[in-house]
């Protein structure tokens, strides 16, 4: 059974903290994505990666960075968390090929609260 896992379902952090959100997939997918989901705004792409050590900015990369050192793992980093980064974060992966063409497999999400 294909799977995308995220390190935490719920996370509470303080303003200014450095936050790591981890995502692991076991499907040998080249493409991986980080989205944030906010009420009334749908899903917005933060970053995506089409290969190890490769990354592309999405629509809202400000305040975030990513790391992809291994094919199966894609990390989202909040360098200095702020309250406006309180949100649901969703990780996804998809098979090789043009990013977005194929079905994406999603993780369960991490609900991050920044106090």
35 Cβ contact partners less than 8 Å away, ≥ 6 residues apart: 43, 44, 45, 46, 58, 89, 90, 91, 92
Closest separation in Å from C-beta 16 to another protein: 27
Q: For another protein, which is the closer residue by CB, 15 or 41?
A: 41
Closest separation in Å from C-beta 57 to another protein: 6
Q: How many CB atoms lie within 10 A of CB 71?
A: 15
Q: For another protein, which is the closer residue by CB, 42 or 80?
A: 42
Closest separation in Å from C-beta 66 to another protein: 14
Q: Point out which residues bind another protein (CB under 8 A).
A: 33, 40-45, 48, 56-59, 88, 90, 92, 98-109
Find out whether 111 and 11 touch, Cβ atoms under 8 Å.
yes
């Amino acid at each position: 059974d294909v799977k995308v896992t995220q390190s935490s379902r719920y996370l509470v952090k303080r303003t200014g903290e450095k936050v790591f959100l981890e995502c692991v997939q076991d499907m040998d997918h080249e493409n991986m994505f980080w989205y944030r989901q906010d009420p009334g705004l749908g899903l917005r792409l933060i970053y995506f990666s089409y290969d190890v050590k490769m990354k592309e900015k999405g629509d809202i990369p400000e305040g975030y960075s990513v790391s992809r050192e291994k094919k199966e793992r894609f990390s989202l980093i909040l360098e200095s968390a702020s309250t406006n980064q309180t949100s649901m974060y969703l990780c996804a992966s998809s098979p090789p090929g043009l990013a977005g063409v194929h079905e994406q497999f999603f993780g369960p999400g991490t609900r991050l609260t920044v106090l």
